[in-house]
A = this chain, B = another copy of it.
Amino acid sequence: MPQDLEDKLAGLEALLFVHGEPMSFKKIGEALEVKVGEVKELLRELASSLEAKNRGLTLLQDGDKVQFVTKSKFNSVLANFVKNELSEDLTPASLETLAIIAYFGPISRNRIEYQRGVNCSIILRSLMLRGLIERFTDPEHPQSYLYRPTFEFWKHLGLTKPEDMPEHARFREVLTQFETQT
């Protein structure tokens, strides 16, 4: 466990960084093994160090919850960046993943990854952020998700369903062969 003040501040920073959502003082205290009173003190300390001009983050507090956010002066830089990033052409890897989902969706991440032979978590996240695919809970396996193209995706292609994709039947056949023979 973090021992002195500096160590605890560092631990707090790491904790808030990893935890995406607002985090309650209580939970922070549990993680760092300190009392809620000390958590508040640490947060005050952290907030004041974040005021330095070379820091890009700040604390957003709401009641007894707190989270890291970027300073508002960087909003336009960051918004531009996110927009440019999401508007880029699809990479070959993204196209491949999207193709699998378009042809064979709804499909689980496991099966997508098995076909591509690589981990796809980031690509799936990016395709979701771009509004090209969506995920929903697998009715048969409530623990896992299935991925399918969005309505906007089909609309953009001017198609309505996987069977409308070029050479759909042939690809299905190759897939069946692959999945039974490997």
Contact partners of A71 in chain B: CB under 8 A: 10, 14
Question: Taking the complex as formed, is A172 at the interface, i.e. its CB lies under 8 A from any CB of chain B?
Answer: no
How far, in angstroms, from A63 to B32 measured CA to CA in the complex? 34
Number of interface residues of A (CB under 8 A): 51
Q: Which residue of B lies closest to A13 (CB)?
A: B56
Copies of this chain present in the complex amount to 2
Mark A residues whose CB is within 8 Å of B.
1-2, 5-7, 9-15, 17-19, 21, 30-32, 49, 52-57, 68, 70-71, 74, 76-78, 80-82, 84, 113-114, 117-119, 121-122, 125, 128-131, 134, 152
Q: Are the C-beta atoms of A54 and B134 separated by less than 8 Å?
A: no
Between A and B, 13 residue pairs with Cβ closer than 8 Å are A7-B53, A9-B54, A11-B56, A13-B55, A13-B56, A14-B56, A15-B77, A15-B78, A21-B122, A31-B77, A32-B77, A118-B134, A119-B152
A152 nearest CB neighbor, chain B only: B119
